[in-house]
Structure 1
Amino acid sequence: MSSVLYDAQGPRAKRRNVLFTVVFLVAAAAVLWWVITSLNDKDQLAWEKWKPFFSSTEAWTTYLWPGLQNTLKAAALSMVIAMPLGAVLGIARLSDHRWVRVPVSIVVEFFRAIPVLILMIFGVALYSEYTNVSSDDRPLYAVVTGLVLYNASVLAEIVRAGILSLPKGQSEAAMAIGLRKNQVMRFILLPQAVTVMLPAIVSQLVVIVKDTALGGAVLTFSELLASVGPMSGYYGANTIASFTIVALIYIAINFSLTTFASWLEGRLRRGKKSTGAVLPPAAVGGAESTGAGGAGGGIGL
């Protein structure tokens, strides 16, 4: 059976694909066995290495929870600031006024081109030289600054692309009934573009959560991933166990974000469907008979 994308496989192609699949599965099983054996030889799979996370709450209250709080705080602040800022920059890039569009485009392209880690490092230097922010709060400020500058620029492009993806007839019809351009943007284009942009926006929010770990790696920001070092040292070099637990926490956070976004996107799409009342057959029949009677009376006259 053929399709637009590919032709149906012949007998030789099927045998070749089966052979490749078997070889890949054997190779993957061999690599997995080697990894498990190596970890077991180094006692990384011993129960003593995993016991602190299941037998008591000390590891959670002392290391994981404080780090998770800082991660969520930095991510939440960055999201709250970057999302409206990105929306404003994205709309400004669509402005008809060159004196607005060109400077905003330069700012967006500039911060999109710089790695977020460099922005964080510059943030530390900026707050150290020109502000009175304490050394304890400086890493948090630098992480949030770097994440906001970079992700606001990326979100600006997402907003711009989402608005441009809508049919031009939407704007033309709105202007034809007398709406001004700002009203078209607020009442017509943005509400429709939100549904289109939502998957990309959520992907960027996931990136924000993960990029907070850069602050712990370079700026001594005590976030979730940074808690692995002291926690592993305290519990006897249970590095694999610590990294595994931290990875599962990141997965849970990001999966929650994507699940909520999927639910919200479905709700928005359902809300945009027609909600007009459906007339019962009796009402339609009554209307037709009335119309027929009226037509007969007109003809008789």
Structure 2
Amino acid sequence: MLWKPYLGGSTEAYSTYIWPGLQNTLKAAALAMVIALPLGAVLGIARLSDHVWVRVPASVVVEFFRAIPVLVLMIFGNELYSSYTDVSSDDRPLYAVVTGLVLYNASVLAEIVRAGILALPKGQSEAAMAIGLRKNQVMRLVLLPQAVTTMLPAIVSQLVVIVKDTALGGAVLTFPELLSSVNTMSSYYGANTIASFTVVAVIFLVINFSLTSFAGWLEGRLRRRKKSTGAVLGAQDVAHIGGTAATGAGGAPGGLDLSGPFVGGAGKDD
């Protein structure tokens, strides 16, 4: 009897309670991912800068927001929007949830990016510098493309955390996300709490499993592409790259792929 609203053929529970909450969960998670990923990449690269005026502020921002619980950031964001902006009370919970998720997860992603780049062999950047590439070209053409494959599992794990942490907004800020729909739904259908929570848990499981499965497929595809695009640089190619680096022109000669392991002969670091 408790499972009848979900398995009895009626779609009322899904259309009235679950679907609206799922839409808000996906909206908040998607916005947070779209903002946190590039922001985290920028902060992570900034922490590796040779310039102190870039490296130190980036490090302070990352360590500060990484040390604060995401729930505190959400509450702070809610009060900030309430006191200093014209955001309506209906939209304020969404803004606060996204703000908290972005600030915390961008800081964590920054550390993932920094660690992924530092994990690469030093020979990669040294070889690129030796043929005349500037540091920003080394980062963009050599280090980042290789580090992405290494960082992908950790990045996806953090994206899963973003999806799950949207539930904090429903528990504290009355954000109408998926988990918060359980209370209303359970009360309406006769206090079937276990059945309601089970259905919501299965939905979260499907979302996060789909995300990790896609990441696994993407990682395998990137690894296969790198193995199949190993190009050997000849003496003329090296001279041409050095010339384009000196003049500020981008790109590689002959359509060579500089995103794989940097090679001068056989794809080794030394």
Q: Which TM-score bucket, shorter chain as reference?
A: 0.7 to 0.9
Match of 2:7 in 1: 54
Q: Which amino acid aligns with 2:175?
A: F
Alpha-carbon distance between aligned partners in 2 of 1:99 and 1:232, rounded to the nearest angstrom? 54
Q: Which amino acid aligns with 1:59?
A: A
Match of 1:284 in 2: none
Q: Which amino acid aligns with 1:168?
A: K
2:84 maps to 1:84: no
Match of 2:181 in 1: 227
The runs of 4+ residues in structure 1 deviating greater than 6 Å are none
Alpha-carbon distance between aligned partners in 1 of 2:86 and 2:7, rounded to the nearest angstrom? 43
Q: Per the alignment, in what secondary structure is the counterpart of residue 120 of structure 2?
A: coil
Match of 2:65 in 1: 111
Match of 1:65 in 2: 19
Which one of the candidate residues 81, 91, 102 is aligned to 1:137? 91
Q: Which amino acid aligns with 1:188?
A: V
Which one of the candidate residues 261, 268, 288 is aligned to 2:222? 268
Task: Using the TM superposition, give the Cα deviation of residue 54 of structure 1 relative to its aligned residue in structure 2, in angstroms.
Answer: 1.6
Larger Cα-atom Rg:
1
Alpha-carbon distance between aligned partners in 2 of 1:135 and 1:218, rounded to the nearest angstrom? 15
Which one of the candidate residues 49, 52, 59 is aligned to 1:95? 49
* TM-score scaled by length of structure 1: 0.76
Q: Which amino acid aligns with 1:105?
A: S
Which one of the candidate residues 151, 157, 164 is aligned to 2:111? 157
Match of 2:264 in 1: none
Alpha-carbon distance between aligned partners in 2 of 1:123 and 1:176, rounded to the nearest angstrom? 47
Number of matched pairs: 230
Alpha-carbon distance between aligned partners in 2 of 1:107 and 1:274, rounded to the nearest angstrom? 40
Alpha-carbon distance between aligned partners in 2 of 1:76 and 1:251, rounded to the nearest angstrom? 17
Which one of the candidate residues 186, 190, 203 is aligned to 2:140? 186
Q: Which amino acid aligns with 2:15?
A: T
Residue deviations 1:32-55, cap 9 Å, x none? xxxxxxxxxxxxxxxx11000122
Matches for 1:194-205 after TM superposition, within 5 Å: 194-205=148-159
Q: Which amino acid aligns with 2:3?
A: W
* TM-score scaled by length of structure 2: 0.84
Residues 189 and 236 of structure 1: CA distance in aligned 2, closer, same or farther (over 3 Å): same
Alpha-carbon distance between aligned partners in 2 of 1:83 and 1:275, rounded to the nearest angstrom? 27
Alpha-carbon distance between aligned partners in 2 of 1:103 and 1:123, rounded to the nearest angstrom? 21
Paired-residue identity, %:
85
Q: Which amino acid aligns with 1:52?
A: P
Task: Using the TM superposition, give the Cα deviation of residue 220 of structure 1 relative to its aligned residue in structure 2, in angstroms.
Answer: 0.1
Residues 196 and 105 of structure 1: CA distance in aligned 2, closer, same or farther (over 3 Å): same
Alpha-carbon distance between aligned partners in 1 of 2:123 and 2:95, rounded to the nearest angstrom? 44
Alpha-carbon distance between aligned partners in 2 of 1:129 and 1:166, rounded to the nearest angstrom? 46
Q: Per the alignment, in what secondary structure is the counterpart of residue 175 of structure 1?
A: helix
Residue deviations 1:98-123, cap 9 Å, x none? 11101110010000000000000000
Alpha-carbon distance between aligned partners in 1 of 2:42 and 2:5, rounded to the nearest angstrom? 47
Q: Which amino acid aligns with 1:246?
A: V
Alpha-carbon distance between aligned partners in 1 of 2:71 and 2:139, rounded to the nearest angstrom? 34
Alpha-carbon distance between aligned partners in 2 of 1:248 and 1:183, rounded to the nearest angstrom? 45
Which one of the candidate residues 133, 155, 170 is aligned to 2:124? 170
Residue deviations 1:190-244, cap 9 Å, x none? 0000000000000000000000000000000000000000000000000000000
Q: Per the alignment, in what secondary structure is the counterpart of residue 139 of structure 1?
A: helix
Alpha-carbon distance between aligned partners in 2 of 1:188 and 1:227, rounded to the nearest angstrom? 47
Task: Using the TM superposition, give the Cα deviation of residue 274 of structure 1 relative to its aligned residue in structure 2, in angstroms.
Answer: 3.6
Q: Which amino acid aligns with 1:103?
A: P
Q: Per the alignment, in what secondary structure is the counterpart of residue 243 of structure 1?
A: helix
Match of 2:201 in 1: 247
Q: Which amino acid aligns with 2:163?
A: V
Structure with greater helix percent:
1
Alpha-carbon distance between aligned partners in 2 of 1:121 and 1:275, rounded to the nearest angstrom? 49
